[in-house]
Structure 1
């Protein structure tokens, strides 16, 4: 950072051009990293591969992350940021409860169907890669999954309290079933290259929420 003073004598902060270039490079690398990981997994990431594909300096990319694990963690954080933008934020204006729950499910299906990540849902693939492991990457993925389930449960609880769902509804069970429908649609669509599974998931979700 370089300090100078404006006309009034107040300090003015100017961002070092090298910092901004580093930030742009980091964003470029992470966008490519999330796309690769969604198809091939987090273990497919390497500084050398990313530098080569993006025609960047290997030492420069390494300086941004420092280790393969930090690259993986940064990739998970970037995927989480994209997920929030694509799924959570569009539903933020919906009335809490059943309307928001429906909007979240539809947003998730659109996110997978539109291939925001080329491999479908980023988290579906990489969680299978790390679910039986221990360590920081496993923990980051587990936390992302818990946060998503918790948001669905919270909406289901509000819907039950408002009388939009039956009084005997188990919010945690409902959230589990909704996620199962969405993730199955994602897996089958990616595997078979067809959109029919999303229609089935939408029918299943609508029936479950009516119930």
Structure 2
């Protein structure tokens, strides 16, 4: 399937676009400074066309996390919150989760999508290599046609085993290569999705 084909009922899954991710003292350096604008533009396109939007919120189980429920960082970023409920005829769902995959949240995302006859999902948000990637991989495993607009995601520098440290750009590229190269999702640009969905 070519990127030119965005289904009329494709769901936009907006993953963890929360205020807590603005705390760079906690997370470190990020990439994709234009990601928030791209996410906003995709929400606008989806809502204007009456397509369904799923807003996913991470409720951390770690008290030290900026995403811990009951504090300001758990809330959606203002531009996302301002767009909730503005979809007109388009269906809208709020999923809350405490793990990486939006498919392991509440309510059951897979059941909701299948109940609505939706087979294509466009996944955006934070972090590219964690909740976006895990949601995309699981969506692919479940048989959905998954599209990830790469520049509508972002992540942070990360340290792994053996003292290896990758910049946010390197982490994001590795994530995109794994998703796209192994067939879990089609990794594309926001412009390609906007042009196809218009």
Same fold (TM over 0.5): no
TM-score, normalised to structure 1's length?
0.23
Which structure: greater strand fraction?
A: 2
Q: Which structure features the higher share of helix residues? A: 1
